[in-house]
Amino acid sequence: MGVIIQKKDGGYLYTTTDIACAKYRYETLHADRVLYYIDSRQHQHLMQAWTIVRKAGYVPESVPLEH
């Protein structure tokens, strides 16, 4: 799976923001479950972001990330 995190011009994409938000919600807000209520067309995008979040160790598997 390939995901662009930062563009050539230094800008960031939605995936970067979603990764940072998941990390923030777990580490700062101490969320024990995160629900995303957004359009179903964003499902693949979220799955990619969550895969990165899990592999990076930002949010453990014990904390559900749900769409």
Residue 1's pLDDT is what? 57
Gap between the Cα atoms of 40 and 62, Å rounded: 24
pTM listed for this prediction: 0.83
Boundaries of every domain in the chain = 14-66
Contacts of residues 47-51 at CB distance under 8 Å and 24 or more positions apart, as own/partner, are 48/1, 48/3, 48/15, 49/3, 49/15, 49/18, 49/19, 49/22, 50/22, 51/1
Mean pLDDT of the chain: 91
Instruction: Inform me whether the pLDDT recorded for 27 exceeds 80.
Output: yes
pLDDT of residue 64: 97
Neighbours of 59 (CB within 10 A): 20
Q: Residue range 25-35: average pLDDT?
A: 97
